[in-house]
Structure 1
Amino acid sequence: MKQTAVLYPGAGVGHVRPMAELANVFLKHGYDVTMVLVEPPFKLSDSGTTAIDRIAASNPSISFHVLPSLLALDFAAPGKHPFLLMLQLLHYYNEQFEAFLRAIDRKSLHSVVLDMFCIDATDVCVKLGVPPMPASHLIKELLEHPEDEMCKAMMNIWKRNTETMGVLLNTFESLESRAVQSLKGPLCVPERILPPIYCVGPLVGKGAKDEDKAERNECLEWLDAQPDRSVVFLCLGSKGTLSAEQLKEIAVGLDRSGQRFLWSVRMPAGLELELDALLPQGFLERTRGRGLVIKSWAPQMDVLGHRATGAFVTHCGWNSVLEAIVAGVPMLCLPLEAEQKMNKVCMTEDMGVAVELEGYMTGFIKADEVEAKVRLVIEGKEGSQLRARLAALREEAEAALQEGGSSQAAFAQFLLDVDNLERNETLGRHV
């Protein structure tokens, strides 16, 4: 009987996409995969909804199951932080998730992989006797005072993660060797043995296939006409929005730099303007030919993998970081929220793949810095050093995913450990 892995990424395209990549790893090892999605009681952005639909459509071998809606519940409490509402929502979905798992033949269920924010579903897995296995990217910063509700929620998430039987990490060991060795060491959490960790990445998309060129995005056609490694790509993720004042300041810096650029602009909250009205007067006309500004979604993996892309201004979301590393593109860091500032430290100090736009620390990046840093990465010696470092990491990433590589071996060990857990459980019932 073919065994099934159930993957539960919770809500949000930034969580669904890497889970889909992990699902493909399971498929290559001969397992069936079901991805369980929740239907949030609030509307995702059009780009977020479209992206999730696109992921499902492009992965026909993965079975997608959407849990019944919880619209009857009130998740619109005034003043409640959206993150806390999301955790509350996922907690309430436990009942539906349990019903779904109960409908699966226990003998065919291999494992359940939980997103780190779905950690309350561990209770469901323990109740049903399924070895819980949460998938995580990187730690998220703890916020505010220890008695703050957000801080308590985050502390609970990490405490619960240490109670699981293992953690899958979307990274490769040589990229974060110091952190990996610390997590594996006995002194990471005093008087506590942490669960085993499995570095199974980098799990990123492959971009459009050659046969999809009929639907090729217009920005890729524009990139085709640009010289190699000459274009700065600015894209701040699915939720990354800046103020109108900050957008204008970045535009001034790009204009002064004289560099080519491709800029995916998201409208500031509450504004619906044409680009001419949003950006400095005459900017689009002055930069015509060497710059392209789009309000639409940009195919990030295809852009990063294009020969013309020479630098990437990023919000430092982990998916974007991995995609740039796999593509070998140096990064300029503009962290906005969540764990992104922590990622920035790793990117600039440990990995050596990026430089920071220091203005993020004051909440505003000035045109002079944009101009200088863009030139530094595209034309300067430091940019050359970043590219050399990334070339080596790119080879290591490819090697990790190949037969006999560290990530392949880690995933094989994960499968073996799950099998051993099941055997021990069976033996225990017969003793």
Structure 2
Amino acid sequence: MKQTVVLYPGGGIGHVLPMLEVAKVFLRHGYDVTMVLLEPPFKSSGSDALAVERLVASNPSVSFHVLPPLPAPDFASFGKHPFLLVLQLLKQYNERLEGFLRSIPRQRLHSLVVDMFCVDAIDVCAKLGVPVYTFFASGVSVLSVLTQLPTVLAGRETGLKELGDTPLDFLGVPPMPASHLIKELTEHPEDEICKAMMNRWKRNTETMGVLVNSFESLESRAAQALRDPLCVPGKVLPPIYCVGPLVGEGAKEGAERHECLAWLDAQPEQSVVFLCFGSKGTFSAEQLKEIAVGLENSGQRFMWVVRAPPSTTEGLKKYFEQRPEPDLNALFPEGFMERTKDSGFIVTSWAPQVDVLHHPATGAFVTHCGWNSALEGITAGVPMLCWPQYAEQKMNKVFMTAEMGVAVELEGYNSDFVKAEELEAKVRLVMESEEGRQLRARSAARKKEAEAALAEGGSSHEAFVQFLSDAENLGQN
């Protein structure tokens, strides 16, 4: 009898995508997989919802179960940080999750694997006697910092915000400017949002083990730190399994190709700078103009995914809204489209990022440093220019530039404005200079390391086998 693993990603597409890659690994090892999805808290025609629908349709070997929706909350009267509402909703789903888990015969249910934000489900598993594991969709270095942070905060009377760019020391990672931590964690330690987030990260390491979307040689110092008894004094952390890089595949053979790929086909090898800032990344109209000037002045070919500037909608609702198509002529400098029609290609809304990064014509990647995107750049061997914006992206920037050696930073990201001259200079550096050539060589080496980690007998393959063995032993005790 095949055993069933239940995966619970909780969040939007950025959480569902990597969890789906975990599902494929379980399938390859002979398990049945069911992924539990949540409906957004109100009807949405947003790109996230459409992307999830597309994923469900294209993965027939995974079962999907949508929990019955909760009544839509009253956003207007909530009056607190939207993330607190998300956590509240996730906790309220525990009852429905329990009902679903009870519907699976206990002897068939192998385990529940929860996303970093769904750790309240640990309580459901304790009640039912079901093994529970965390899947941490970001990197080991981020996990290491977040796991050590409560100790740093414990003796503080004020928030970390007051420290500005003062570097903080954590085991296993380069010095981390206080300003680069997740914004909510820099609030006063007694602040509700700070406490709620710290509780999330604490609970991430209260499961029976943590699967991390990374590979040992990419973040070896951080992985070792998490195995060091000194990491969190007085606490024994669960095993950490580096099972990545788990990234999506490109379009399947025979599938309809996006028009941007045909444009890339006509460009010379490694000649195109690709700019893409994730499903939530937006810029002001002023910044979009600045990017356009910088790209044009760099003289390089480019492909740029452009989204409309952010709406005025406040709170959580804006994350689910479908964005209007950007009015390019109004956003760009006069004549820009005409002048760059032979050297540039603008994509509005969505581009097949994995296919673009693996295309021979792509020579550099300007990214917001979301971990999925960082791994996609690493597995494609493409050097990156870092423009982090929110969540843990500034932390990732530190690791990508100072530790992994696969990226350079665009100065100005920390004051929310990158000048045209800076973009032009860094694009030229990566595409034309000796420093850029060395960056390209390191990126190519990291790509080979990633392939070796995933191959049979590689570190990530072996880590997953070890995880399955440990889980079986736990089940027998």
Place the TM-score, normalised by the shorter chain, in its bin. Answer: over 0.9
1:87 deviates by 1.2
1:69 deviates by 0.5
Aligned equivalent of 2:321: none
Moved more, 367-376 or 387-396: 387-396
Match of 1:238 among 279, 300, 303: 279
Mapping of residues 179-194 of structure 1, within 5 Å: 179-194=222-237
The answer to whether the 8 A contact 2:113-2:132 is kept is yes
Cα distance change on mapping 1:36 and 1:305 into 2, 3 Å: same
Give the Cα–Cα distance (whole angstroms) in 2 for the partners of residues 70 and 381 of structure 1. 56
Give the Cα–Cα distance (whole angstroms) in 1 for the partners of residues 239 and 247 of structure 2. 23
1:203 deviates by 0.3
SS of the residue aligned with 2:423?
helix
Give the Cα–Cα distance (whole angstroms) in 2 for the partners of residues 379 and 416 of structure 1. 49
Structure 1: runs of 5+ lacking an equivalent: 425-431
Give the TM-score of the pair, scaled to structure 1: 0.96
Cα distance change on mapping 1:370 and 1:65 into 2, 3 Å: same
Is 1:292 matched with 2:345? yes
Give the Cα–Cα distance (whole angstroms) in 1 for the partners of residues 123 and 326 of structure 2. 47
Give the Cα–Cα distance (whole angstroms) in 1 for the partners of residues 334 and 80 of structure 2. 39
The answer to whether the 8 A contact 2:306-2:326 is kept is no
Give the TM-score of the pair, scaled to structure 2: 0.87
The answer to whether the 8 A contact 1:304-1:324 is kept is yes
Give the Cα–Cα distance (whole angstroms) in 2 for the partners of residues 13 and 43 of structure 1. 16
1:97 deviates by 0.4
Mapping of residues 54-65 of structure 1, within 5 Å: 54-65=54-65
Give the Cα–Cα distance (whole angstroms) in 2 for the partners of residues 110 and 362 of structure 1. 47
Aligned equivalent of 1:178: 221
Aligned equivalent of 1:229: 270
Structure 2: runs of 5+ lacking an equivalent: 147-181, 312-323
The answer to whether the 8 A contact 1:7-1:23 is kept is yes
Give the Cα–Cα distance (whole angstroms) in 2 for the partners of residues 362 and 76 of structure 1. 30
Q: Percent identity of the aligned residues? A: 70
Mapping of residues 92-241 of structure 1, within 5 Å: 92-136=92-136, 137-138=138-139, 139=142, 141=182, 142-212=185-255, 215-241=256-282
SS of the residue aligned with 1:134?
strand
1:143 deviates by 3.1
Counterpart of 2:265, as a letter, is D
Is 1:309 matched with 2:352? no
Is 1:48 matched with 2:48? yes
Give the Cα–Cα distance (whole angstroms) in 1 for the partners of residues 8 and 44 of structure 2. 18
SS of the residue aligned with 1:396?
helix
Superimposed CA distance per residue, residues 352-388 of structure 1 (whole angstroms, 9 cap, x where no aligned partner): 0000001101111000001000111111112211111
Counterpart of 1:264, as a letter, is V
Cα distance change on mapping 1:352 and 1:86 into 2, 3 Å: same
**Count, aligned residues:** 422
Give the Cα–Cα distance (whole angstroms) in 2 for the partners of residues 44 and 177 of structure 1. 41
The answer to whether the 8 A contact 1:84-1:150 is kept is yes
1:95 deviates by 0.5
Give the Cα–Cα distance (whole angstroms) in 1 for the partners of residues 250 and 410 of structure 2. 28
SS of the residue aligned with 1:297?
coil
Moved more, 243-252 or 157-166: 157-166
Aligned equivalent of 2:316: none
Give the Cα–Cα distance (whole angstroms) in 2 for the partners of residues 77 and 161 of structure 1. 30
Cα distance change on mapping 1:410 and 1:77 into 2, 3 Å: farther
1:162 deviates by 2.4
The answer to whether the 8 A contact 1:41-1:75 is kept is no
RMSD, aligned CA: 1.3
Aligned equivalent of 1:429: none
Counterpart of 1:127, as a letter, is K
